[in-house]
């Protein structure tokens, strides 16, 4: 049975993307798994942080140009980091609030599973960051949250999973 998997990527978190590679490659071993990679830029003021240069004077044109450049940047990242066959994935770039946009795309693509990293360092959200927490609590599909905590001496990698259908990744 084919599985459609949405993988949310924050292009500003290069080290965290690298830590997701083995999990995504494990999932990709099944040829019938299809991936939708998505990145969400909060607003047009973030262009410089993403290393994008949009020279259009019109806001509408600038947004369109930013989405194209962001999609290209994500595609390059996926190709370099995850090394999946091109027929096994599609890249999407959006501008807006990450939680809402990720869920909207997940619903539109009718995905079976959402994979998202969590980097919250807040004691109150010890397992999940706010975006991951929102997605876990507001979707009907399975969610794999890859929890990455970095402190000065130790890297701890845990996963919290909301399970609709059993879906585990051994390490």
11-41 confidence digits (pLDDT tens): 988 777 877 888 899 999 888 999 999 999 9
For residue 168, being part of any structural domain is answered with no
For residue 170, being part of any structural domain is answered with no
Tokens representing 67 are 């989405």
**Strand-pair category, 142-150 with 155-162:** antiparallel
For residue 128, being part of any structural domain is answered with yes
Q: How far apart are CA 42 and CA 61, in angstroms?
A: 17
For residue 47, being part of any structural domain is answered with yes
Q: What is the pLDDT of residues 109-156, one digit of tens each?
A: 999 999 998 766 555 554 556 888 889 889 999 998 886 655 433 343
Question: What φ, ψ does residue 40 adopt, rounded to 5°?
Answer: -125, 120
Tokens representing 53 are 């240069």
Tokens representing 109 are 């693509």
Domain span holding position 26: 3-162
Question: What φ, ψ does residue 139 adopt, rounded to 5°?
Answer: -125, 160
For residue 73, being part of any structural domain is answered with yes
Q: How many domains does the chain have?
A: 1
- Spatial contact of 139 and 108, defined as CB atoms under 8 Å apart: no
Minimum mean pLDDT range among 34-38, 46-50, 103-107: 46-50
For residue 7, being part of any structural domain is answered with yes
Question: What φ, ψ does residue 121 adopt, rounded to 5°?
Answer: -110, 5
For residue 169, being part of any structural domain is answered with no
Which CATH number fits the domain that encloses residue 37?
A: 3.40.50.620
For residue 81, being part of any structural domain is answered with yes
């Amino acid at each position: 049975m084919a599985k459609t998997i949405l993988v949310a990527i924050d292009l500003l978190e290069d080290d965290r993307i690298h830590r997701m590679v083995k999990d995504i490659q494990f999932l990709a071993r099944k040829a019938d798994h299809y991936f939708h990679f998505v990145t969400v830029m909060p607003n047009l003021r973030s262009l410089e942080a993403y290393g994008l240069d949009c020279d259009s004077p019109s806001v509408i044109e600038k947004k369109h140009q930013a989405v194209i450049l962001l999609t290209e940047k994500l595609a390059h990242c996926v190709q370099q980091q995850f090394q999946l066959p091109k027929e096994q994935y599609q890249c999407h770039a959006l501008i807006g609030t990450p939680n809402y946009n990720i869920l909207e795309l997940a619903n539109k693509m009718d995905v079976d599973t959402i994979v998202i990293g969590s980097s919250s360092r807040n004691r109150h959200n010890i397992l999940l960051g706010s975006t991951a927490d929102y997605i876990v609590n507001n979707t009907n599909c399975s969610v794999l949250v890859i929890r990455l905590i970095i402190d000065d001496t130790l890297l701890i990698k845990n996963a919290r999973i909301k399970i609709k259908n059993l879906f585990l990744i051994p390490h």
